[in-house]
Structure 1
Amino acid sequence: MLSAAGLLLAGAAYGDQSIAWADLLALLRGSGSPEARFIVLELRLPRMLLAMLAGMGLAVAGAIAQAVMRNALAEPGILGINAGAAFAASLVIVAFPDVHPGVLPWAGFLGALVLAAAVFGLAWRSGTSSLRIILVGIGLSSLAAAGTSFLTVFGRVIDVQRAMIWLAGSVYGADWNKVHVLLFWLAGPMALAWLSCRQLDLIRFGDDAARSLGQRVDLTRAGLILLCTLISGATVAAVGLIGFVGLVAPHLARKLVGPSHAGVLPVSALLGGLLLMAADFAGRIAIAPAQLPAGLVTALIGAPFFAWLLRGGRHVAA
C-alpha cells in the first residue's frame, strides 16, 4: 500500500509539467492553484487510477488463466482475447473510419468475447482439456492476427496509424468516466473470481484429482474462462492491448504468498496495478514531453521475465 501511495504521489507531481511538492500538499489540504488542481485531479489522477484498475484486471485474469490451463506461461491472450479484440478494433478503425469513437471499446470487448467463445467451442469434445484449449487458442489467435495484418497492410495510412496507437496499449486520454466504466465492468467478475478461489485451487491439480474431490470440471472450466474473458475483455476495451502484466504479476504473487488463490488473487491484483502504474509513469517521464505507451514499457519488462521463466524451466505447471 505504501508503494501505491508513493506511485500516486510521484505520478501526480511529475510529468511534462511538474507540480511542486508544496502545491501538491496544498491540494491534499483542499487548497492549491486552479492550474495545479486541474492537472492533478482532472488529468493525472484519473490516468493513474485507470492504470491501477487495468493492471488489477489483467493480473487477476492472468492468475485465472494459469490455473485453468495449469501452465505458468499462460495469460489471457492464450484464449484469443487479445487477438480477437485487436482484429475487431482494427476492423472498426480501418474499415469504418467514420464510426463514433465510442464504438471502439465495445468492438474490442465484443471481439474478445467472440474469439474466446470460438476457442472454447472448438476445443469441446465431450468435455474440454487445457491442451486442446491452448492449441485451438494459438490457431485462432494466429488467424485473427493475420486478419489484423491484412487490414493494416491495405488500410489508409491515417487509419492504420490510429489502429497502431490503440494496439500499443495506453491509458493516455483517461478521464473519470473511463475510470467509473471500468470499475463498473470489473467489480462483478472480480468479486466472482475471489469467490472461486477454492475452485481455482482444485482445478490446478488436474482433471482427475479435481473430479475425485467433487468438482464438475468442465462446467467449472467454462465458468472460469468466462470470468477471465469478461475481466480481460473489459480491460482491453478500456486501455487497448497491454501484455505481460497477466504473466508477471501472478508469478510474483505466488513467490510472496504461496500457491493458494485466496492469497494469490489479491496480491496479484495489487502487484498488477502497481506494475501498470509504474509502466505508465515511466513512459510519461522517460522522454518527456513525448510519451511511451504503457504497453511498450510492460513489454520491455515482460520479455526478459518470460525468457527467465523459460530458462529456469518454470513453464511446466502453474
Structure 2
Amino acid sequence: MMRLATLLAVLLAGLVAASLAFGDISLSWRELMETIAGSADATPQNGMIVFDLRLPRILLALLVGAALATAGTIALAIMRNPLAEPGVLGINSGAAAAVMGVIVLMQEPPVALLPLAGFLGAAIMAAAVYLLSWQRGTSSLRIILIGIGLGSLASAATTFLSAFGEIGDVQRAMIWLAGSVYEADMVKVRLLFFWLLVPLALAWMSAGELDLIRFGDNAARSLGQRVDLVRGLMIVLCTLLSGAAVAAAGLIGFVGLVAPHIASRLAGPSHARILPIAALSGAILVVASDLLGRLVIAPAQLPAGIVTGLIGAPFFAYLLWGRRHVRG
C-alpha cells in the first residue's frame, strides 16, 4: 500500500513540476528550480508565471481531482453499479441548470455567484433524488432511475435556457460547463482546501461502512448496519465533495468514474486502501488533463473537462463491453 501510494505521489509530483515548467512560455528545469528556490538569478517574470499563474491552477486541479475521485468511490459503493458516478445523483445536471439560469436570467451576475449557484443546484438536485427515491427506505436502483430522470429534466432546462438566451450569456455559461481551472487563484484554492478537509476525512473514516454496504442491503443489515442512514450520509458526503469541485472548476467529467476503478484494480477491495489511491489517481488525472490541454494546441487551450472526456469516454465504453454478458 505504501509503495503504491509513494509511486503515485512521485508521479503526481512529476506532473506538478512539468505543469510549472511548460506552457505558453516554457521554463528550463534550471530556471524553474531557481524560481522556486528564490535564487537571485530568478527573474520577476518567471516568478509571476510560476507562483501567480501556474501554481494556483495546479493546486486547484489537484484538489478537484481528489474530491471527484473520492465522491466517485462513494457513489460506486452505495449504488453497487460499476457504471455509477456522482452525476447519477443529479449533481452535474443540477449544477449546470443552476449556473445556466443565473447567467442567462440575471443581468451581469457577479462572478462569485456562479460557484455558489453551481453548488446549490447540485445540492438541491441530490436532495430531490434521495427524497423521491424514499419508499419505506431507499434502494440503489431507485436512486439511479430517479437520478437519471431528474438529470434529464435538468438537462432539458439547460438546453431551453441556452436556446433562448442571449448569445454572449450562453457562451459564458458554456465555457463554465466545459470544466476548467483557468480562473484559479490562491483564494479559491484555500477556500476549496478548507471546505474539503472535513468531508474527505469523514469519507476515509467511513471506509468500513462502505465495505459493508457494497455487499448489498440485506447482508449489511444482517451485520448491524443501518443501511438507509448510511446511504443518506454517504450521499451528503458525495454531494459536499463533488458539488464543491463542480462549483470551483465547472463540469469535469469521468474523473469520478475512472479514478475509483483504477484504484480498485491497484489497491484491492478494501475501501481503506481504495480511497487514498483513488484521491491520488483523480488528482493525477485532472493535473495531467490540464497540462495536456495547455500543450496540445498551444497557444490555445483545451479545458480540462474536454480532455477528461476524451479519456473517460473510451473507458466508459470499456466498462460497458466488459459487462455485455451480465444480466440484471
Shorter-chain TM range is: over 0.9
User: How high is the TM-score relative to the length of structure 2?
Assistant: 0.95
Q: 1:232 aligns with which of 204, 219, 242?
A: 242
Check conservation: 1:63, 1:246, Cα contact below 8 A. Answer: yes
SS of residue matched to 2:288? helix
Distance 1:276 1:316, change over 3 A: farther
> Tell me, which stretches of 5 or more residues in structure 1 are unaligned?
none
Does 2:264 correspond to 1:254?
Answer: yes
Q: 2:186 aligns with which of 176, 182, 187?
A: 176
Report deviation, 1:72. 0.7
Report deviation, 1:28. 2.8
Q: Distance in 1 between matches of 2:143 and 2:83?
A: 14
Partner of 2:35: 27
Q: Distance in 2 between matches of 1:25 and 1:130?
A: 50
Q: Distance in 2 between matches of 1:173 and 1:277?
A: 15
Check conservation: 1:71, 1:315, Cα contact below 8 A. Answer: no
Map 1:237-316 onto structure 2 (within 5 A): 237-313=247-323
Q: 2:16 aligns with which of 8, 31, 50?
A: 8
Query: Amino acid of the residue matched to residue 239 of structure 2?
Result: T
Partner of 1:74: 84
Report deviation, 1:97. 3.4
Q: 1:122 aligns with which of 124, 132, 151?
A: 132
Partner of 1:40: 50
RMSD value over aligned CA atoms? 1.2
Does 2:115 correspond to 1:102?
Answer: no
Q: Distance in 2 between matches of 1:107 and 1:68?
A: 26
Query: Amino acid of the residue matched to residue 47 of structure 1?
Result: R
Query: Amino acid of the residue matched to residue 51 of structure 1?
Result: A
SS of residue matched to 1:93? helix
Residues 38-64 of structure 1 deviation map (CA, whole Å, 9 limit, x = unaligned): 100111011111000000000000000
Report deviation, 1:314. 8.0
Q: Distance in 1 between matches of 2:190 and 2:55?
A: 13
Q: Distance in 1 between matches of 2:121 and 2:59?
A: 25
Q: 2:93 aligns with which of 54, 77, 83?
A: 83
Q: Distance in 1 between matches of 2:276 and 2:86?
A: 18
Partner of 2:200: 190
Q: Distance in 1 between matches of 2:325 and 2:307?
A: 23
Check conservation: 1:80, 1:115, Cα contact below 8 A. Answer: yes
Query: Amino acid of the residue matched to residue 146 of structure 2?
Result: V
Q: Distance in 2 between matches of 1:292 and 1:266?
A: 28
Q: Distance in 1 between matches of 2:270 and 2:56?
A: 32
Distance 1:314 1:172, change over 3 A: farther
Report deviation, 1:315. 9.8
Instruction: Give the number of aligned pairs.
Output: 317
Report deviation, 1:289. 0.8
Structure 1 ranges of 4+ moved more than 4 A: 314-317
Query: Amino acid of the residue matched to residue 30 of structure 1?
Result: G
Report deviation, 1:316. 6.2
SS of residue matched to 1:227? helix
Q: Distance in 2 between matches of 1:215 and 1:178?
A: 38
Check conservation: 1:73, 1:315, Cα contact below 8 A. Answer: no
Partner of 2:3: none
SS of residue matched to 1:191? helix
Report deviation, 1:23. 1.1
Residues 256-309 of structure 1 deviation map (CA, whole Å, 9 limit, x = unaligned): 010110000000000000000000000001111100000000000000000111
> Tell me, which stretches of 5 or more residues in structure 2 are unaligned?
1-8
Report deviation, 1:82. 0.4
Check conservation: 1:200, 1:261, Cα contact below 8 A. Answer: yes
